[in-house]
């Protein structure tokens, strides 16, 4: 089998051959998520890079003068759909020559001087050809199946994004009428060049028999290589074993895999690699992580980096699987915060707590400062994520990474404290208002029928109970949630939303709940709770019966106390 490989840009690939998608290939199947990711990688986040590598395309010589596509047809088809959308915008904006120029890449005369599309496929014929590739309006009626819908969706997405780019130029008040057309043209040309300058590894085979073999091999291997696969090969290539009996890379990589894959927290190796990098080196997207590592980790630092990954993998596991670490009495608050993060289902904070725990272990951060940092992040994400469900942004992730790296780089202990304080102030500035907090807090419900918020509700009641007890230590694992007005009682006509709200809930031990409180009226329950030394808040103390209005009042009271005292930063 003869294989030739060379790197080429998209323009060279498209103008040098005609391509055919053979019958053994799957239909065009990229969904919205794939399309958005491709647009972001190649256009939005390319950051002016002249050469941007997007993978490989494997082709073979077809006996009819085509190049059959073995691997890479989804990417190549997407690129051509993107060019078709750009052509439409060029023509719509009056740049006819530029539009025709793009069309000449999509469709050009062959050796017989007959126009031919650069890509052909049987599965989506004639939709792709008649509705997307051609610049002329077609009146042909086409059946639209799943593949055609994917093609249409991709085309419309690119059309919309390019149109929005042009509209933002038109809406810019700093651009005069005289310069508007030139600016629009410049933006469109930049998009065109970004697409045409994308780089692929062009792998060429001699015949279709080889293509079948390669296709089968590629597809039995499943997904594309992940960052972890590439990184393992990177270490193997650059760190040579000192003798036959000792392979440091193999042993250390095995330890990393053990810490990540054997955890009950269902950790992901690629996510660990990304979080570790964000916690110590630089902010970069997961997609570009390997490229960033390869450009920055060289020479002697390759060994050091592997050692970092090995030692940090255990810390990373401890942060996600709290039972994997023996916590000292002074560290219990840290453990509780980690459990809370899991309840909130939050991930953006991981780089900074990984950095903080790493530096706590090496003595650079004292326990009191770590507790302060962890409780602040917990309080912030309770309000920001768990209650108000505020949308996190790339800016938030970048902020966490930035402060994590600052903690790592700082050698002076006093300055470390200043960095933590500055970070806390940053979080404080992003806290949602009490009004927004109360609205969402009032929506929390827990009943036998509605259990979605159970863990979060128990967390809230636990923190509230702890606040009322003023420091008494309680084993909350043995506590259960009690509805002060019973759920199934026929003595009230209060709807389920109020019955399940925080104002009607109380945390008690299981024995008291089952043996003493079950189905009793509130006045009786209140007496039992007092006799059992349970702390009651001002609303419960001042009322001998519960009504809908009092439950709403208590929910509001707990929200106010929570926002201003319990979860105050």
Nearest-5° Cα angle at 395, 341 to 441 = 45
Q: Is 376 exposed, middle or buried (0-12, 13-18, 19+ CB in 10 A)?
A: buried
Closest CA to 83 of 23, 126, 42, 125: 42
Quick: pLDDT tens for 417-439. 999 999 999 999 999 999 999 99
Interatomic CA distance for residues 544 and 306, integer angstroms:
65
The C-alpha atoms of residue 229 and residue 227 are separated, in whole angstroms, by 5
Enter the pTM of the model.
0.63
CB 118 within 8 A of CB 106: yes
What's residue 215's pLDDT? 55
CA–CA separation, 166 and 171 (whole Å): 9
Residue 24: its pLDDT value, please?
57
CA distance 207 to 66: 11
Three-class secondary structure assignment of 517-548: HCCCCHHHHHHHHHHCCCCCCHHHHCCCCCCH
DSSP SS3 for 505: strand
pLDDT of residue 109: 87
Whether 536 and 526 have beta carbons less than 8 Å apart is answered as: yes
DSSP-derived 3-state class of residue 247? coil
What is residue 204's three-state secondary structure?
Answer: strand
Q: Report d(CA 369, CA 377) in Å as an integer.
A: 12
Q: What is the pLDDT of residue 243?
A: 58
Which tokens hold the place of 512? 């008291």
Give the span between the Cα atoms of 313 and 263, in whole angstroms: 11
Burial string for 466-490 (b: 16+ CB within 10 Å, else e) reads bbeeeeeeeebeebebbbbbbeeee
Spatial neighbors of 154 by CB under 8 A, at least 6 apart, are 30, 35, 78, 81, 82
pLDDT at 211: 61
Residues whose CB is less than 8 angstroms from the CB of residue 303 and which lie 6 or more positions away in sequence, other chains included: 239, 248
Sign of CA dihedral 61, 66, 67, 70: negative
Identify whether the C-beta of residue 195 lies closer than 8 Å to the C-beta of residue 10: yes
Q: Which helix (H) or strand (E) holds 119?
A: strand 119-121
Each domain of the chain, given as residue ranges in start order, spans 3-220, 227-434, 443-566
DSSP 319: H
Q: How far apart are CA 68 and CA 59, in angstroms?
A: 5
- For helices 548-561 and 454-469, what crossing angle results, to 10°? 70
**pLDDT one digit per residue (tens) for the chain, 569 residues:** 666 778 889 999 999 889 888 755 667 888 888 899 889 888 876 544 556 778 888 888 876 778 888 788 889 999 999 999 999 999 999 999 999 999 999 999 888 888 889 998 866 677 788 888 888 866 777 777 778 888 999 999 999 999 999 999 998 888 888 889 999 999 999 999 999 998 888 888 877 666 656 655 555 444 455 788 778 877 877 787 665 455 788 789 889 999 998 999 999 999 999 999 999 999 999 989 998 999 999 998 999 999 999 999 999 999 999 999 999 999 999 999 999 999 999 999 999 999 999 999 999 999 999 999 999 999 999 999 999 987 655 688 999 999 999 999 998 888 999 999 999 999 999 999 999 999 999 999 999 999 999 999 999 999 999 999 987 778 888 899 999 998 876 666 788 899 999 999 999 988 887 777 777 888 889 999 998 889 999 999 999 989 999 999 999 999 999 999 999 98
- Tell me the pLDDT tens digit for each residue of 436-473: 999 999 999 999 999 999 999 999 999 999 999 987 77
Provide the pLDDT for residue 103: 93
The rounded distance, in Å, linking the Cα atoms of 76 and 11 is: 11
> How high is the pLDDT of residue 222?
42
- What b-and-e string marks burial along 98-135, b requiring 16 or more CB atoms within 10 Å of the CB? bbeebbebbbeeeeeeeeebbbbbeebeebbbbbbbbe
Instruction: Give, as one character, the DSSP assignment of residue 113.
Output: S
CA distance 414 to 421: 11
């Amino acid at each position: 089998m003869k294989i030739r490989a060379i790197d080429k840009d998209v323009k060279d690939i498209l103008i040098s051959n005609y391509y055919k998608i053979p019958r053994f290939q799957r239909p065009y199947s990229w969904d919205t998520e794939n399309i958005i990711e491709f647009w972001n990688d190649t256009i939005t986040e390319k950051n002016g890079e002249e050469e941007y590598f997007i993978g490989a395309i494997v082709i073979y010589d077809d006996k009819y003068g085509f190049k059959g596509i073995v691997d890479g047809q989804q990417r190549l088809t997407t690129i051509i759909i993107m060019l078709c959308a750009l052509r439409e915008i060029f023509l719509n904006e009056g740049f006819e020559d530029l539009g025709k120029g793009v069309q000449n890449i999509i469709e050009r005369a062959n050796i017989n001087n007959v126009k031919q599309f650069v890509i052909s496929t049987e599965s989506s014929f004639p939709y792709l050809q008649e509705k997307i590739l051609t610049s002329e309006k077609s009146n042909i009626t086409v059946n639209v199946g799943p593949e055609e819908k994917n093609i249409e969706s991709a085309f419309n997405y690119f059309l919309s994004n390019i149109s929005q780019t042009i509209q933002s130029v038109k809406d810019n008040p700093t651009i005069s009428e005289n310069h508007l057309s030139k600016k629009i043209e410049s933006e469109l040309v930049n998009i065109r060049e970004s697409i045409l300058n994308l780089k692929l590894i062009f792998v060429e085979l001699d015949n279709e028999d080889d293509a079948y073999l390669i296709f089968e091999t590629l597809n039995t291997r499943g997904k594309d290589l992940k960052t972890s696969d590439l990184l393992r090969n990177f270490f193997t290539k650059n760190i040579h074993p000192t003798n036959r009996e000792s392979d440091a890379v193999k042993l250390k990589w095995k330890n990393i895999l053990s810490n990540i894959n054997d955890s009950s927290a269902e950790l992901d190796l690629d996510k660990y690699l990304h979080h570790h990098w964000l916690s110590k080196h630089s902010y970069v997207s997961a997609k570009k992580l390997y490229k960033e590592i390869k450009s920055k980790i060289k020479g002697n630092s390759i060994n050091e980096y592997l050692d970092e990954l090995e030692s940090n993998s255990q810390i990373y596991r401890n942060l996600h699987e709290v039972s994997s670490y023996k916590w000292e009495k002074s560290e219990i608050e840290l453990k509780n915060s980690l459990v809370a993060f899991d309840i909130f289902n939050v991930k953006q904070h991981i780089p900074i707590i990984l950095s903080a725990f790493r530096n706590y272990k090496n003595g650079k951060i004292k326990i009191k400062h770590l507790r302060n940092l962890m409780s602040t992040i917990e309080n912030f994400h309770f309000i920001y994520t768990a209650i108000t469900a505020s949308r996190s942004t790339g800016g938030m992730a970048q902020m966490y990474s930035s402060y994590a790296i600052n903690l790592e780089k700082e050698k002076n202990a006093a300055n470390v404290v200043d960095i933590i304080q500055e970070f806390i102030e940053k979080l404080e500035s992003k806290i949602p208002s009490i009004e927004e907090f109360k609205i969402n807090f009032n929506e929390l419900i827990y009943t036998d029928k509605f259990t979605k918020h159970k863990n979060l509700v128990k967390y809230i009641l636990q923190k509230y109970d702890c606040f009322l007890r003023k420091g008494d230590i309680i084993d909350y694992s043995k506590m259960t949630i009690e509805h002060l007005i019973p759920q199934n009682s026929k003595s009230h006509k209060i709807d389920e939303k109020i019955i399940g709200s925080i104002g009607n809930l109380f945390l008690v031990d299981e024995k008291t709940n089952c043996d003493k409180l079950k189905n009793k009226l509130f006045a009786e329950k209140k007496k039992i709770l007092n006799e059992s030394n349970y702390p009651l808040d001002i609303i419960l103390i001042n009322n001998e019966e519960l009504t809908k209005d009092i439950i709403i009042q208590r929910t509001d009271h707990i929200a106010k106390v929570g926002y201003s005292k319990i979860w105050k930063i």
